[in-house]
Amino acid sequence: MKRALVVVLTLLLAPVLANSVAAEDAQRGKSRCAVKDSSGLLKVVVCPPGLDEEALRVAGEEACGIAVLCNAWIWDDASKAPREAPEGQSELDPKYTQSAVAVWFNDRKGLLMVRRDQH
């Protein structure tokens, strides 16, 4: 009888727990952001609009993985991100840097939010 109850509870709670984990992952940015291109040192990452700093940090960390020398530039609009990642930051066109929402620096484990002028 106890075993049957455990099985029933497991079957009933499994979808709830799965949805909870999926919601938690989505809030942290997992599976919501995508690396569109990468070069030796730079990743072009596109995320949905409105993610908080923690989700953007997770996206940057995931994009760079274990590479120490890696900067993940993050946009919330794919049309504003470059199609191809340049070899270095100095080669990144200012029109792209100005439209990014954040940059993750993997060597420093730091996220820089890009501030936009409000006109």
Residue 42 domain boundaries: 34-113
Residue 99 domain flag:
yes
* Domain tally, the chain: 1
SS3 percent helix, strand, coil of the chain, rounded to 5, is 40, 20, 40
Q: Say if 27 falls within a structural domain.
A: no
pLDDT at 5 over 60: no
pLDDT at 26: 45
For the question of whether the overall pTM of this predicted structure is more than 0.75, the answer is no
Q: Say if 107 falls within a structural domain.
A: yes
Whether residue 64 is contained in a domain is answered as yes
| pLDDT confidence of residue 16 | 42
CA distance linking residue 38 with residue 85, whole number of Å: 5
Q: What is the pLDDT of residues 85-115, one digit of tens each?
A: 999 889 999 999 999 999 999 999 999 999 7
| Nearest CA among 114, 91, 112, 90 for reference residue 101 | 114
Q: How far apart are CA 100 and CA 93, in angstroms?
A: 11
Q: Number of helices and strands (H, E) in the chain?
A: 3, 5
Only one residue has tokens 């200012």, namely: 94
Residue 87 belongs to a domain: yes
Is 119 domain-assigned? Answer: no
Q: Three-state SS for 102?
A: strand
User: Within a domain: residue 13?
Assistant: no
Taking residues 61-69, report their average pLDDT.
Answer: 96
